[in-house]
Chain A
């Protein structure tokens, strides 16, 4: 998979995934002149700044108005453009969900919704700015593609990939630095989950920065002679049923891991696939029906149970269930 060779080092490089989006948007705009960018007063923070400076004629600042952000973009897409709209995920798709549903998804136009600041790792800003429901909100809508990259390099690839896709897309990004686990040559294809770590006793299906924690968990369990597969599920819709069902058949137990509510997110999507096709024991690691709060990102990940240890505990649980 050509992963970062220093992935398991203590000093692994860490970069926010939103940075990868910022680089990817400039590349996408260079590749296709129809790419335009719209922002709602968060241009620097969402990393749309470099695009805005390089392509001022193709950048629209709508002010603090997320409903307008979505609907103006829908109109530009009707006019042949490929609009990227950037805000924090709590506001877009949070505040403007109906506008996205009707004017982007139902219209089936290629607007790219960029939701930065997803998860509790947003940190000190607190629960109002920590999106924990966005995957659920977006994946229930027909026509839309939902992508949640594991690191900044994958976010860059994902940005280019969704620009080339003639569909509505949602891209979920993190504010805080996350470990860089992939490289420029790691495979990335929308809709194709990748096995990042081989194993036969159980599988972790993870998304976003939980992929790193899943890899750490798998590595640690090796010393206890437990062999765990890790799947990077960057595309949550359409979900890669084939790779998940193969893992269910070959390992017989699944743990999902996401920085999102345990209802409606990746865990929900995995449960839908398993229960209707090949039921095996499943544990869902995520936020347990709570709001976040202020704190340092690492403190919050610890407090809300989004850790390597929480994943290991879930693995032990599914192995017990599987053994019965």
Chain B
């Protein structure tokens, strides 16, 4: 089904609303990560409102696509997207990181229906996505696995163990997407631990690699449908994103990796986002 310009604009509006909720949640929580969630809002809007085969009313529907979020610390964006998709009331977003909340600081499978696995410790998500894809293949299942991961967690040895295995078993029922935002806690990725060229590395390991602008709705959706058509190879989408996207004083600042906005910063951020959403 071809999407019209109006369809893309609607997805962009969703992404903008998700960004606003991320700011509100983080202000309320008083801790958490800002840059990564804002940077991934367009991709999450595309996933929950177009790409994923899912049913918010039946989170454990057997035929759903499985979305694994490896870098669990960006969960505010997943929670906001899930709330907007109808998994739970938007008002529940305010409970993020609080005692008794289903919205744990890092997502937990046992806490919230629709969260496929517990994550946060980096480098473990791709392997779990592979495990799901292997299980699905044994059963002849139609659902697909999508694994989102960060560029920082490419530092982890476990990630590369997984990269080799996906290639060995030619897992084409799984698509991985890497948030290439160039920052991690201690600084820019290329200073902390040089990663480039990630495209060459993954291709050398036997993957099919696409590179996209992670804020361009059309490119995001095209990339996932292209990945479905690749046979006998796992696909990696390297999505170039701007950490803190949409809030000018957060954009591309690694200092915003792991902190929330204060009241004044949140007001300014919301003003900017509301303006760009008009």
Whether chain B is bound by chain A comes out as yes
- Interface positions of A (Cβ within 8 A of B): 36, 57-58, 60, 62-63, 65, 67-68, 71-81, 83, 98-99, 102-103, 106-108
B206 at the interface (CB under 8 A from A): no
Q: What chain B residues lie within 8 Å of A57 (beta carbons)?
A: 138
B113 at the interface (CB under 8 A from A): no
State which of B75-83, B128-136, B252-260, B268-276 sits at the interface with chain A.
B128-136
- A60, A78, A107, most chain B CB atoms within 10 A: A78
Contact yes or no, A78 B116, CB < 8 A:
yes
In the bound complex, how far is the Cα of B139 from the Cα of A57, in angstroms? 11
B34 at the interface (CB under 8 A from A): no
Contact yes or no, B158 A71, CB < 8 A:
yes
Contact yes or no, A99 B131, CB < 8 A:
no
B240 at the interface (CB under 8 A from A): no
Contact yes or no, A67 B158, CB < 8 A:
yes
Q: What chain B residues lie within 8 Å of A81 (beta carbons)?
A: 135, 138
Q: What chain B residues lie within 8 Å of A36 (beta carbons)?
A: 135, 138
Look across to chain A and name the residue whose beta carbon is closest to the beta carbon of B72. A102
Q: Please, could you name 6 A-B residue pairs with CB atoms under 8 Å apart, sorted by A?
A: A62-B161, A72-B165, A79-B135, A98-B121, A102-B118, A103-B117
Q: What chain A residues lie within 8 Å of B94 (beta carbons)?
A: none
Q: Can you list, as one digit per residue, whether each of B139-170 has a CB less than 8 Å from chain A (1) or not (0)? A: 10000000000000000011001101100010
In the bound complex, how far is the Cα of B159 from the Cα of A68, in angstroms? 8
B201 at the interface (CB under 8 A from A): no
Q: What chain B residues lie within 8 Å of A62 (beta carbons)?
A: 161, 165
Look across to chain A and name the residue whose beta carbon is closest to the beta carbon of B136. A79
Q: Distance in Å from the Cβ of B204 to the closest Cβ of chain A? A: 17
Q: Distance in Å from the Cβ of A261 to the closest Cβ of chain B? A: 26
Q: What chain B residues lie within 8 Å of A106 (beta carbons)?
A: 108, 110, 118
Contact yes or no, B158 A76, CB < 8 A:
no
In the bound complex, how far is the Cα of B121 from the Cα of A103, in angstroms? 9
Known interface pairs A58-B138, A98-B121, A102-B120; A76-B131 also in contact (CB < 8 Å) = yes
Contact yes or no, A72 B130, CB < 8 A:
yes
B109 at the interface (CB under 8 A from A): yes
Q: Distance in Å from the Cβ of A216 to the closest Cβ of chain B? A: 44
Contact yes or no, A102 B124, CB < 8 A:
yes
Q: Distance in Å from the Cβ of A34 to the closest Cβ of chain B? A: 9
Q: Find A74's partner among B66, B123, B131, B138 (CB 8 Å cutoff).
A: B131
Known interface pairs A76-B132, A76-B134, A106-B118; A67-B139 also in contact (CB < 8 Å) = no
In the bound complex, how far is the Cα of B128 from the Cα of A81, in angstroms? 13
State the main secondary structure of chain B at its contact with A: helix
Q: What chain A residues lie within 8 Å of B157 (beta carbons)?
A: 67
Q: What chain A residues lie within 8 Å of B138 (beta carbons)?
A: 36, 57-58, 81
- Interface positions of B (Cβ within 8 A of A): 66, 68, 108-110, 116-121, 123-124, 127-136, 138-139, 157-158, 161-162, 164-165, 169
Contact yes or no, A78 B131, CB < 8 A:
yes
Contact yes or no, A79 B108, CB < 8 A:
no
Q: Which 6 A-B pairs have the closest CB atoms?
A: A75-B131, A79-B135, A71-B127, A75-B128, A68-B161, A65-B161
In the bound complex, how far is the Cα of B132 from the Cα of A80, in angstroms? 9
Contact yes or no, A71 B132, CB < 8 A:
no
Look across to chain B and name the residue whose beta carbon is closest to the beta carbon of A103. B124
In the bound complex, how far is the Cα of B139 from the Cα of A298, in angstroms? 47
In the bound complex, how far is the Cα of B37 from the Cα of A43, in angstroms? 42
Contact yes or no, B158 A103, CB < 8 A:
no
Known interface pairs A63-B165, A81-B138, A99-B158; A72-B120 also in contact (CB < 8 Å) = no
Contact yes or no, A73 B165, CB < 8 A:
no
Look across to chain B and name the residue whose beta carbon is closest to the beta carbon of A83. B131
Q: Distance in Å from the Cβ of B19 to the closest Cβ of chain A? A: 29
Contact yes or no, A107 B134, CB < 8 A:
no
Taking A60-B169, A83-B131 as known contacts, 6 extra A-B pairs with beta carbons closer than 8 A to each other, sorted by chain A number, are A63-B161, A65-B161, A75-B128, A77-B131, A98-B121, A102-B120
Contact yes or no, A99 B108, CB < 8 A:
no
Q: What chain B residues lie within 8 Å of A108 (beta carbons)?
A: 109-110
Contact yes or no, B165 A107, CB < 8 A:
no
Q: What chain B residues lie within 8 Å of A74 (beta carbons)?
A: 117, 124, 127-128, 131
Q: Distance in Å from the Cβ of A57 to the closest Cβ of chain B? A: 7
Q: What chain A residues lie within 8 Å of B169 (beta carbons)?
A: 60
In the bound complex, how far is the Cα of B134 from the Cα of A78, in angstroms? 11
Contact yes or no, A76 B118, CB < 8 A:
no
Known interface pairs A76-B131, A78-B128; A68-B162 also in contact (CB < 8 Å) = yes
In the bound complex, how far is the Cα of B130 from the Cα of A58, in angstroms? 14
Contact yes or no, A72 B127, CB < 8 A:
yes
Q: Distance in Å from the Cβ of A99 to the closest Cβ of chain B? A: 6
In the bound complex, how far is the Cα of B131 from the Cα of A77, in angstroms? 8
Look across to chain B and name the residue whose beta carbon is closest to the beta carbon of A81. B135
Look across to chain A and name the residue whose beta carbon is closest to the beta carbon of B116. A78
Contact yes or no, B131 A71, CB < 8 A:
yes
Contact yes or no, A107 B110, CB < 8 A:
yes
Contact yes or no, B135 A73, CB < 8 A:
no
In the bound complex, how far is the Cα of B127 from the Cα of A78, in angstroms? 12
Contact yes or no, A75 B129, CB < 8 A:
yes
Contact yes or no, A102 B121, CB < 8 A:
yes
Q: Find A75's partner among B108, B121, B134 (CB 8 Å cutoff).
A: B134
Q: What chain B residues lie within 8 Å of A68 (beta carbons)?
A: 127, 158, 161-162, 165
Contact yes or no, B158 A72, CB < 8 A:
no
Q: What chain A residues lie within 8 Å of B119 (beta carbons)?
A: 102
Look across to chain B and name the residue whose beta carbon is closest to the beta carbon of A71. B127
Known interface pairs A68-B161, A75-B130, A99-B158; A80-B117 also in contact (CB < 8 Å) = no
